[in-house]
Structure 1
Amino acid sequence: MKENLKNSISNYFSNGPKVVMIFMLVLMSATLVISATRKTVTVSIDGKEINITTFRRTFKTALEANDIAVGPKDKTTPSLDTRVNKKDKIYIKRAVNVEVAVDGKDLNIQTAEDNIEKMLDAERIDVADYDKVVPSVKEPITEGLKVSVTRVEAKMIKETKTLDYATVIKNDDNSEKGNTKVLQDGEQGEKVVATRVIYENGKEISRQVVNETVTKQPVQKVVAVGTLSSYTPSRGSTKILYNKSMRVKATAYSAGYEDTGKNPGDPGYERTATGTIAKRNPNGYSTIAVDPSVIPLGTKLYVEGYGYAIAEDTGGAIKGNIIDVYFSAGSQVNNWGVRWVNIYFVR
């Protein structure tokens, strides 16, 4: 027994340096392993940097081990699944709260995007070319930012509208004043009007006519309006229509020698200046002599107290506003004498 104990002690002390050596090697290996897996990483959160020490393989587990939470809308560069190496750096941008009014809804959104345009893309909020975004889509994202998206829609509307016809007035020189006659009925035309209508969030805010195409021309209405005045010689007589009147001094003559210096059978007897035979026709037009510079030859008149007449003759004493009415007998000439009368220019 004593011999065995003695041998054991002897063996221990003889192998002691070897055990110590092995222990030291194990300790050095562990130290090297720890040193190799221990990493210092810089974490930048919204521009503020901290250093952490980690033995973890990925940024996700490294951050969790150091109680650094990353929200679902926070952005990291590189990604959380990236393998961690010594002296690596990870950037974390915290999501902020943004209010977005769109399509009749008020959305509370968390986002870590750089500007409004990127946020809308990330949230899958489509913005058409004409839609309005306030503030501008390039506006940086900040905490509490309020964004409104106004839906703008342009529609082209085509309408058929009537075109009013014009009324043309024409003088009717054969009708009394106040009388009208429709010579041609008017007819409305048509046109197609193209209008651009702008809506914001479904509400009309403006409209502008961009084109008008006449598809049917209107037909003008033509109305004849009388221009003649009227005169009624006496009660029950036929109304006389005229376009002009004049007050003149009226004398009378016949074809006899005392008025013309000619007797029956003489050349030019009863002939007027226009070559016609002087006549007195109570039921038609009688001959009168006029000053052609005042009343053109061939003019038809109504002579007050005498009747219808036509300017066919002239006379040496007939100058200015003087007429000479013709009678077939000298006694009638004497009965007429000289008087002031109204004459009416008839058609």
Structure 2
Amino acid sequence: ADYEALPGWTVPARHIRIRRALRLTVVDDGETSTILSNAETVGDALFASGIKLYLTDEVSPPLDSPVSDSLMISIKRAIPVELMLDGVVIEARANAALVADVLVELNAPLFALDYVQPPGDTAVSEGMRIEIVRVTEEVLTLSEVIPHENRVQPDAELNLDQRAVLQEGSDGRREIRSRVRYENGVEVSRDLIESVVAEAPVNRIVAYGTRVVPLGTINTPAGPRQYWRRLCMYTTSYNPISNGGNLRTSTGATLDKGVIASKPNIIAYHTRVFVPNYGNGAILDTGGGPSGTDYWVDLGYGDDDGFKSWRAYSWVYHLMPPPEKIVYRLPGWTPNSNWPGNCG
């Protein structure tokens, strides 16, 4: 019976049972105190005394044990830790000494390739954050294009400046198998397993002609002449004065009318040419002006040749016979960037 409630009873009590409080010693994480309790079990005694317990605290003897006078109750407190799992931070308390045991205590198992940080054999400390890293792997197969090459080759049976596609090109395909590792859903590594050419590329092959044949006949001051190539070129002129008084050319010839300068990658030295309204000449100097275009010739004049300033596009006829050295493959034709136009 509750002693304080006795005066309120309407019927006088006929039997009164008195349970004497027992003296209990509580060692709470090394701190010793004494409590008086008439509870029947250890758990009830601690609860009645206001001693708060957490689920993972260890109590000895167990909470359902009966109390007895002078009983010593030992409490080993779980320490607060943080468990980071699948992007969520869980505040918990653990009594385990090692990180691996904390996972068991909190029912947070590792699967397959998973691992924990800090490692499982690390001693647990108050406030420690323990992270479970979920690890998965997969094998990916990716296709990669193998670009085909564009190749050219000479063909003595094909006329100069003509092209013929000998073989069309097509890209190939490479299969790449890789092992990809993910940690918490984020890719952290990719290791090559194998790379196999599933389909080899086929190179495009274009033949360019090297057979020089007359293309036609042009009337020149020296009479009708056959020509084997005709180029539309930006045309300028120069003389010893505009050349700084220098009469010598890059081939050693003296600057005079009939000496024509060009870029050797377009017209080889000693190529005989005819330019309408200028006359016959030969490529005996290097020139061609700035980099607006490669297709540029500079028409030479001597001191007494009646210099004429040229700024126009002109047909340049390559006369037979061809020189020993021929530029078989010409770059693409572009007009001079400062003087757009063409030969009409």
- Shorter-chain TM-score bucket reads 0.3 to 0.5
Specify which structure has the higher proportion of helix.
Answer: 1
Query: What TM-score results when the alignment is normalised by the length of structure 2?
Result: 0.47
TM-score for the superposition, normalised by structure 1:
0.46
Which structure has the greater CA radius of gyration? Answer: 1
